[in-house]
């Protein structure tokens, strides 16, 4: 289904549904929350009863966002979440494309196999056969940009308001690292230009996202770089590892390691950065790269994950020592590509 077809059919498609549940991915980021909330406010304008479910809590730097109090956090209130899912006549996947990305919600989503599904997302390897309608573009900064395009196609003059504009800007800003990467076309800037207004202050939004660290979070970032970063010049790679004890030392809160993985890429000859964190029972990997080296391939082939060319994630069930060993064992096969 092309973008144009999706836009042209959207009104008649959505008018068939009265109770819509938006679901986004586990460890929701600014794009997951921003695009879900913007779509939520947009659908409400059609008189639709809309709910948003996220598998686990959002980071505190998003707590100020308009409408955030209406999001149901599944691992805190799964009974209500199941109720919402069972009552839905349409389930929208926002910023992910496979139910395995929904953590605890996964099982209950599978029980809703007969409920029509819609998708708005920018990840690859989508099985389109499961969706009644989809807006799926790989070469787009963020899901928020897709939602912005959708709303624009229906008329910004009719449907855009400050709350929607703020949520969309948060999604685009965070998924592009403040417009530093994942920009594939000038339309990203053009649409942001239309979202900004005297009452939608880009600098203020940016400050609310990036200048609201706790002292512990900033110290954890400093510690990650000075004490826990290992550079492997031979592979143009740097990794940072954080143990459970490290996180506890800095009183880790959800979202505190967000962005840490980007810092090693600031080193001139580093092409891939990896953050390895010890979480409850699993090891979480975050990958970032510069240029055309695909961390999606690395995450998919060896770390049960995936993502985009320059940003991906994955998990392993092992100790942190084994996780580092695994990374070191995998690197030689990418040596040529990393030295290109």
Closer to ligand 5GP by Cβ: residue 95 or 152: 95
Backbone angles phi, psi at 94, to 5 degrees: -120, 120
Select the binding partner of residue 308 from Mn ion, ligand 5GP, none (C-beta < 5 to 8 A, by kind): ligand 5GP
Give the nearest distance from C-beta 6 to ligand 5GP in angstroms.
21
State the binding string over 134-163 for Mn ion (x if CB under 5 A, else -): --------xx--------------------
Give, in order, the Cα–Cα distances in Å from 252 to each of 221, 255, 277, 323.
Answer: 11, 8, 12, 21
Q: Which of residues 289-328 bind ligand 5GP (CB under 6 A)?
A: 305-308, 311-315
Of 254, 272, 194, 257, give the one whose Cα is nearest residue 223.
257
Give the nearest distance from C-beta 234 to Mn ion in angstroms.
32
Instruction: Give the C-alpha separation, 42 to 28, whole Å.
Output: 20
Closer to Mn ion by Cβ: residue 29 or 246: 29
Backbone angles phi, psi at 286, to 5 degrees: -125, 135
Strand partners, 59: none
Backbone angles phi, psi at 64, to 5 degrees: -85, -5
State the binding string over 59-98 for Mn ion (x if CB under 5 A, else -): ------------------------------------x---
Q: Which of residues 229-288 bind ligand 5GP (CB under 6 A)?
A: 286
Strand pairing report for 229-232 and 237-242: antiparallel
Of 33, 11, 16, 12, give the one whose Cα is nearest residue 24.
33
Instruction: Give the C-alpha separation, 83 to 105, whole Å.
Output: 12
State the binding string over 11-50 for ligand 5GP (x if CB under 6 A, else -): ------------------x---------------------
Q: Which residues bind ligand 5GP (CB under 6 A)?
A: 29, 286, 305-308, 311-315
Q: Which residues bind Mn ion (CB under 5 A)?
A: 31, 95, 142-143, 175
């Amino acid at each position: 289904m092309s973008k144009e077809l999706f836009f042209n059919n959207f009104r008649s498609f959505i008018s068939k549904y009265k109770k819509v549940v938006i679901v986004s991915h586990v460890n929701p980021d600014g794009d997951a929350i921003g695009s879900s909330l913007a779509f939520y406010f947009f659908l409400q304008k059609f008189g639709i009863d809309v709910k948003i479910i996220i598998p686990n809590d959002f980071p505190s730097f998003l707590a100020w966002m308009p409408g955030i109090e209406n999001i149901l956090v599944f691992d805190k209130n799964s009974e209500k979440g199941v109720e919402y899912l069972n009552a839905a006549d349409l389930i929208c996947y926002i910023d992910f494309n496979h139910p395995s990305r929904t953590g605890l919600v996964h099982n209950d989503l599978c029980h809703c196999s007969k409920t029509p599904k819609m998708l708005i997302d920018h990840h690859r390897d989508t099985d389109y056969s499961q969706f009644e309608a989809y807006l799926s573009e790989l070469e787009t900064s963020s899901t928020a940009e897709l939602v912005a395009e959708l709303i624009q196609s229906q008329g910004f003059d009719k449907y855009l308001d400050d709350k929607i504009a703020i949520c969309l800007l948060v999604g685009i800003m965070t998924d592009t690292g403040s417009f530093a990467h994942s920009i594939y076309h000038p339309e990203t800037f053009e649409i942001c230009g239309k979202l900004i207004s005297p009452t939608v202050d880009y600098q203020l939004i940016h400050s609310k996202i990036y200048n609201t660290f706790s002292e512990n979070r900033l110290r954890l970032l400093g510690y990650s770089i000075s004490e826990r970063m290992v550079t492997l010049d031979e592979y143009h790679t740097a990794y940072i590892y954080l143990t459970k004890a490290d996180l506890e030392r800095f009183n880790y809160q959800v979202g505190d390691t967000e962005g840490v993985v980007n810092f090693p890429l600031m080193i001139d000859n580093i092409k891939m950065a990896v953050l390895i964190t010890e979480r409850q029972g699993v090891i979480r990997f975050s990958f970032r790269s510069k240029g055309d080296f695909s961390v999606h391939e690395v995450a998919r082939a060896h770390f049960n994950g995936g993502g985009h060319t320059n940003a991906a994630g994955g998990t392993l069930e092992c100790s942190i020592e084994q996780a580092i060993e695994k990374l070191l064992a995998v690197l030689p096969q990418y040596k040529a590509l990393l030295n290109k």
